[in-house]
Structure 1
Amino acid sequence: MGFFVLVSAAIAFGFLAFDMILGRALKLLSRYWPNDVAGPDGWLIDTRARNGAFDR
């Protein structure tokens, strides 16, 4: 039972760390993408309305 809890906690931590890294990487790389991907009307990162696929 203890091993299962340890593995579950490690997986949860891995998902949270991946989510944080992905969010920061997308924010840093978004300046190099076209405006329809990451910009005022972007479908991936919307800088105006904040309703893109990866906006928080």
Structure 2
Amino acid sequence: MNNDAPPIPWPGIMTAERRVLDHQLKLHQWARNEPERRFSDVFNLICDRATLLVA
């Protein structure tokens, strides 16, 4: 763990909501355009600070 790195700031609520909506829209479009597509790497979206803040 690098303790010399500056902390990553949490986004503001408006920025976080916009980012989450953008993620949702992108996932919706992919799922609609490619029904057989499997989303195997959503961990990064779930653990994103914006998602956690909005949740």
Whether the TM-score (by the shorter chain) exceeds 0.5 is no
Greater relative contact order: 1 or 2 (C-alpha under 8 angstroms, separation 6 or more)? 2
TM-score for the superposition, normalised by structure 1: 0.42
Structure number with greater Rg is 1
Q: TM-score, normalised by structure 2?
A: 0.42
